[in-house]
């Protein structure tokens, strides 16, 4: 009986995280944001993966423009060889195809757990249990396994998966619904038959190759041509890769998709308001050198000087040293408009 290779992990560390301005910037993207005030989101992702995945099989994929920042960030966590560099950001379909092919080229075929670097997850032990179950399904059924999150609200901004017939400790995914209108989202959540998509996939590298050949053959051939090639060849080839998300290019087209219900608590943490909710919806959350007096429903953070919020409500206040953000909580999802305005004004040093 052939012994199965240990599980590998591909952590996708993309995205600038403009809604976390001024703490998340071009030189310090969202995965390097310290959501809990101490540990970066990337470091937390690596830490909870250890114990299930050997350290030497944990890989982090980043765009070339962020390579220097991430080389510093992974120091002492994983080997610098395990930083996979994309010549340019090309979306999740290209990132996953290229990342998994690179891992297979370096250490051989096997099951890979693909996950974002910028989510808040509790607890680590429940996360590892969920991923282990998904890995078992992926190996046994040669399927793409998606992680489903039990929804806590009707959220029109998320993708959903419908639970189909049970298979072992998972289920067949009946169908996907991408960002439904709020009325439909409410009906789906009430039905108890839908889970949120977490952007996590567990699959064997050979399964991925077969699915790419079937549903995105041009991407499959492009990745095969780059595997093991010199950096200059990869850079030229990457420019020609223009594909949609992994969900749309592969997962939503495939009939070979299983799901596992997450046992862990999950927060996408896409904005300051999302972080406030993830930290417990407290009346006042203050971090660093910040004080709240007679203030309600506020988030305040100062990395240096003293910040005092007095007699205010529903405010986000963040002092990053060279820039200060004061925003109403209801506008948290629109903070990317700030970075657009700074760009328009030629104030690129603050981006």
Q: What whole-number distance in Å separates Cα of residue 328 and Cα of residue 40?
A: 25
Do you know the residue count of the chain? 351
pLDDT digits 0-9 by tens, 63-110:
998 999 999 999 999 999 999 999 988 889 999 999 999 999 999 999
* CA-angle at 325, arms to 320 and 331, nearest 5°: 140
The pair of structure tokens assigned to 67 is: 């390579």
pLDDT (0 to 100) of residue 2: 45
Q: What whole-number distance in Å separates Cα of residue 54 and Cα of residue 112?
A: 12
At residue 26, φ and ψ (nearest 5 deg) are -60, -40
pLDDT digits 0-9 by tens, 198-233:
999 999 999 999 999 999 999 999 999 998 889 899
DSSP-H helix ranges across the chain: 41-49, 67-73, 92-107, 124-141, 182-191, 205-215, 217-226, 231-238, 246-249, 272-278, 336-344
Across the chain, mean pLDDT equals 92
Q: What whole-number distance in Å separates Cα of residue 124 and Cα of residue 97?
A: 26
Q: What whole-number distance in Å separates Cα of residue 9 and Cα of residue 312?
A: 44
Query: What is the domain partition of the chain in residue ranges?
Result: 8-267, 274-350
Q: What whole-number distance in Å separates Cα of residue 225 and Cα of residue 133?
A: 33
pLDDT (0 to 100) of residue 3: 56
pLDDT digits 0-9 by tens, 286-334:
989 999 999 999 999 998 899 999 999 999 999 998 999 999 988 888 8
Fold of 8-267: Spore Coat Polysaccharide Biosynthesis Protein SpsA; Chain A (3.90.550)
């Amino acid at each position: 009986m052939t012994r199965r290779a240990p599980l590998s992990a591909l952590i996708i560390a993309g995205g600038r995280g403009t809604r976390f301005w001024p703490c998340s910037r071009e030189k310090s993207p969202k995965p390097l944001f310290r959501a809990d005030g101490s540990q970066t989101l990337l470091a937390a992702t690596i830490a909870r993966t250890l114990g299930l995945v050997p350290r030497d099989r944990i890989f982090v994929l980043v765009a070339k423009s962020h390579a220097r920042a991430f080389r510093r960030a992974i120091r002492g966590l994983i080997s610098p060889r395990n930083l996979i560099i994309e010549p340019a950001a090309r979306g999740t379909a290209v990132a996953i195809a290229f990342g998994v092919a690179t891992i297979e080229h370096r250490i051989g075929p096997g099951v890979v757990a693909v996950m974002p670097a910028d989510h808040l997850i509790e607890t680590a032990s429940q996360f590892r249990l969920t991923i282990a179950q998904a890995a078992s399904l992926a190996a046994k059924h040669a399927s793409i396994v998606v992680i489903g999150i039990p929804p806590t609200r009707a959220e029109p901004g998320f993708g959903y998966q419908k639970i189909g017939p049970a298979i072992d400790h998972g289920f067949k995914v009946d169908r996907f619904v991408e960002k439904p209108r709020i009325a439909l989202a409410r009906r789906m959540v009430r039905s108890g038959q839908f889970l949120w998509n977490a952007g996590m996939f567990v699959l064997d590298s050979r399964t991925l190759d077969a699915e790419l050949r079937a549903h995105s053959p041009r991407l499959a051939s492009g990745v095969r041509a780059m595997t093991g090639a010199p950096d200059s060849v990869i850079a030229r080839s990457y420019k020609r890769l223009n594909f949609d998300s992994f969900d749309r290019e592969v997962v939503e087209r495939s009939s070979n998709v299983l799901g596992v219900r997450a046992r862990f608590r999950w927060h996408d943490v896409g904005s300051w308001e999302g972080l406030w909710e993830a930290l417990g919806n407290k009346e006042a959350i203050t971090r660093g050198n910040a004080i709240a007096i007679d203030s309600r429903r506020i988030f305040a953070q100062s990395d240096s000087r003293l910040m005092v919020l007095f007699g205010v409500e529903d405010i986000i206040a963040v002092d990053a040293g060279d820039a200060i953000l004061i925003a109403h909580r209801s506008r948290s999802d629109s903070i990317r408009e700030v970075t657009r305005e700074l760009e328009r004004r030629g104030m690129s040093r603050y981006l």
